[in-house]
Amino acid sequence: MNLPNILTLLRILMTFVFLVFLNKGDFSSTVVAFVVFVAASLTDFLDGYIAKRYNLISNFGRIMDPIADKFLMLSAFYMFMQMNIIAEWMFYIIFIREILVTLVRFYAMGKGVVMAAEKAGKYKTMFQISTVIVILLYLILYRWAAEASAVMDTVFCVLQKRYLVIAGLMLITVLLTLVSGISTLWRNRKVFL
């Protein structure tokens, strides 16, 4: 058990903590959920960097790192769907893509082929993380305004229009998710042939 693997397991644990606090629905819990999500996202970059930098790549890491990544991102988007912040079809497109690409990676690993991460996939991940962070920031402001006095009515009304921004970000996120998924499957089509 090396440091990158510990960070991967920590990310899974942090995802559960993130879900618990986000589900509470109040301002302070949402702030905690935001901090936990950002920290968990940083472990995603750190474990890969440390593993490559210090040659600590392991079979455990190859399997668990993508699982931990998908678990964190899908958990966040699932919660947003449950809160009616994002459309159900958006979540399901992201869900199907992430599960399909992960299964393909495992299939390729079983045949001794390592599917390298592509630029499209990296951009997709960064945009997904950025979108979740923006949605969480809106939730923090929205819940703060909801708990504040009547003086905050104007802020509250402005924040109710947040869905235009979120809808735009989610459309880009879904598009990047689809493009990167198709690109990954196309580039690795030889695995199936």
Domain count, the chain: 1
User: Terminus-to-terminus CA distance in the chain, angstroms?
Assistant: 36
Average the pLDDT over 133-152 and give the result.
78
What's 75's domain CATH number?
1.20.120
pLDDT in tens, 27-58: 999 999 999 999 999 998 898 889 888 888 88
For residue 74, pLDDT beyond 90: yes
Q: What is the pLDDT of residue 75?
A: 97
**Average model confidence (pLDDT) across the chain:** 85
Q: What is the pLDDT of residue 68?
A: 92
Q: Which domain holds residue 30?
A: 3-191
Q: Three-state SS string across the chain, please? A: CCHHHHHHHHHHHHHHHHHHHHHHCCHHHHHHHHHHHHHHHHHHHHHHHHHHHCCCCCHHHHHHHHHHHHHHHHHHHHHHHHCCCCCHHHHHHHHHHHHHHHHHHHHHHHCCCCCCCCHHHHHHHHHHHHHHHHHHHHHHHHHHHHHCCHHHHHHHHHHCCHHHHHHHHHHHHHHHHHHHHHHHHHHCHHHCC
Look at phi and psi of residue 15 and say left if phi exceeds 0, alpha if psi is from -120 to 50, else beta.
alpha
Residue 174 dihedral angles phi and psi, to the nearest 5°: -65, -45
Look at phi and psi of residue 55 and say left if phi exceeds 0, alpha if psi is from -120 to 50, else beta.
left
pLDDT band at residue 159 under the 50/70/90 scheme: low
pLDDT in tens, 80-127: 999 988 999 999 999 999 998 888 888 887 777 766 666 777 788 899
Q: What is the pLDDT of residue 109?
A: 78
